[in-house]
Amino acid sequence: MDPWPFRNLVLRTPRLELRPDDDEGLAELVDVTLDGIHPPDSMPFGVEWTDAPRDKLGINTLQHYWRVRASLVPERWTLNFLVRLDGRVVGTQGLGADDFPILREVTSGSWLGLRYQGQGIGTEMRAAVLMFAFDHLGAVAARSSAFNDNSASHGVSRKLGYRPDGTFTQIRRGEPAEQTRLLLTPAAFRRPDWTLECGGVEPCLALLTGQEATD
Ligand SMILES: CC(C)(COP(=O)(O)OP(=O)(O)OC[C@H]1O[C@@H](n2cnc3c(N)ncnc32)[C@H](O)[C@@H]1OP(=O)(O)O)[C@@H](O)C(=O)NCCC(=O)NCCS
């Protein structure tokens, strides 16, 4: 039995390959981070991690993804998929859950290097993890949220069928800023016109859903 079956998990879309993060891929992700994720005068993230000084950004990024990877249990997990286009890491698509064995809900979060944005990649990678969650994990809902001024993130959510589900306000760079919560059910999911290719799913299921395979 492989104690870390996520090393073999892969999701493939027409253009992209998504695999849970590993150290080699994270080194590439750090380079994407340093090349820029958003203009300096905007902040799309609820945690202002990209405001760290440049010489700290690399190690902060690595340590964040290591912490998340190391703490995965069925009751609380996030899989950070590294997203590759033509074999190169271009960003990350996270899929997470709290108490998935009982609640069967997932959350998502993502980002792409600036140069890869606005080409439909964000929609393609979110659709990939939604299909994985609904079709393979048996999720009954997917949740997300974004600042109201994040048109790209809201654009992705709108295209895939999410509906607004309330708001909350948080401090962003010292000022109040509103986020909108978003909710998607399998029935409302506007599926893309391609099918997802998955590999290595079965050995990962018990670690995510808490349920052992039946056959
Ligand atoms: C959010 C993000 C992952 C979206 O990925 P993307 O590849 O740029 O988005 P897509 O190209 O798939 O766009 C999806 C829709 O959003 C809309 N959209 C995209 N960028 C937009 C922009 N800058 N302004 C307005 N609308 C935009 C478009 O309507 C598009 O729909 P269309 O194909 O019908 O035109 C990416 O922009 C990103 O990494 N941004 C910085 C980090 C971030 O904001 N992360 C999310 C935090 S909640």
Radius of gyration of the chain (CA): 17
160-176 burial code (b ≥16 CB/10 A, e <16): bbbeeeeeeeeebeeee
Flag whether pLDDT at 213 surpasses 70.
Answer: no
Q: Ligand 1 atom 30: the closest Cα is on which residue?
A: 155
Which domains, from first to last, does the chain contain? 9-209 (3.40.630.30)
**Tokens encoding 96:** 């997470």
Flag whether pLDDT at 48 surpasses 90.
Answer: yes
pLDDT of 207: 97
- The residue type found at 163 is R
Please state the atom number of ligand 1 nearest to the C-alpha of residue 154.
16
> Quick check: helix, strand or coil at residue 199?
strand
pLDDT band at 212 (very low <50, low <70, confident <90, very high): confident
Compute the distance from residue 137 Cα to the ligand 1 centre, in Å.
26
pLDDT of 143: 98
pLDDT of 214: 56
Using most ligand atoms within 8 A of CB, pick from 151, 154, 181 the residue to mutate for ligand 1. Answer: 151
For the stretch 135-161, pLDDT in tens is: 999 999 999 999 999 999 999 999 999
Query: What crossing angle do the helices spanning 121-131 and 151-160 adopt, rounded to 10°?
Result: 50
pLDDT band at 39 (very low <50, low <70, confident <90, very high): very high
Q: Are 82 and 6 in contact (CB under 8 A)?
A: no
> Quick check: helix, strand or coil at residue 98?
strand
For the stretch 65-86, pLDDT in tens is: 999 999 999 999 999 999 999 9
